[in-house]
């Protein structure tokens, strides 16, 4: 291309209109050489841009894959959060019902204690304190 640019493109006689006087085939050849020179200049400008575009598209693809992975993780976390909120609401309602039953005068003391604390566990805790004090105290 450098030879074409130095010898032919700079030559004032290398013009399709002037060459057409000599031969129509030479006119076509002259137009083709000029077009190839223009194409070469444009290709040298566009080629690095195409390469950068391909790199950017590859990076974009990686980023989109990462984004989709994070969206999936977020969906899982949001589902778990919704489940935990529902469990919390259910347990809060159960607690309120139990508080109402404990505070109600209709139930004897044994039933109220049995609903919140196992009586046998209370005995072992109480008795265990004295056994510990006797052995180690």
Say which range, 8-22, 82-96, 119-133, has the weakest mean pLDDT: 119-133
| pLDDT of amino acid 1 | 80
Same-domain check for residues 71 and 129: no
User: In terms of domains, do 41 and 87 share one?
Assistant: yes
- 63 and 124 co-located in one domain: no
With 0-12 / 13-18 / 19 or more C-beta atoms within 10 angstroms meaning exposed / middle / buried, residue 77 is: exposed
Q: What is the dihedral of CA 39, 40, 42, 47, to 10 degrees?
A: 120
Domain that holds residue 44: 2-103
Do 57 and 119 fall within a single domain? no
pLDDT for residue 116: 53
Are 15 and 41 in the same domain?
Answer: yes
Are 94 and 125 in the same domain?
no
Residues 48 and 19 in one domain: yes
Looking at the structure, tell me whether residues 12 and 76 fall in a common domain. Answer: yes
Q: What is the average per-residue pLDDT within 108-137? A: 57
Same domain, 117 and 99: no
User: For 21-32, b where at least 16 C-beta lie within 10 A, e where not — what string?
Assistant: eeeeeebeebee
Split at pLDDT 50, 70, 90, the class of 21 is: confident
Give the total number of structural domains in the chain: 2
Verify that 97 and 115 share a domain, yes or no: no
Model pTM above 0.85: no
């Amino acid at each position: 291309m450098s030879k074409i640019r130095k010898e032919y493109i700079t030559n004032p006689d290398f013009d399709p209109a002037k060459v057409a006087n000599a031969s129509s085939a030479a006119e076509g050849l002259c137009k083709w050489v000029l077009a190839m020179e223009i194409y070469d200049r444009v290709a040298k400008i566009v080629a690095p841009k195409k390469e950068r575009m391909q790199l950017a598209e590859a990076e974009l693809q990686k980023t989109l894959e990462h984004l989709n992975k994070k969206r999936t993780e977020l969906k899982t976390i949001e589902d778990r959060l919704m489940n935990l909120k529902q469990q919390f609401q259910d347990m809060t309602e159960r607690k309120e019902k139990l508080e109402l039953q404990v505070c109600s005068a209709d139930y004897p003391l044994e039933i109220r204690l049995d609903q919140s604390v196992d009586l046998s566990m209370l005995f072992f805790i109480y008795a265990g304190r004295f056994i510990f004090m006797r052995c180690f105290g």
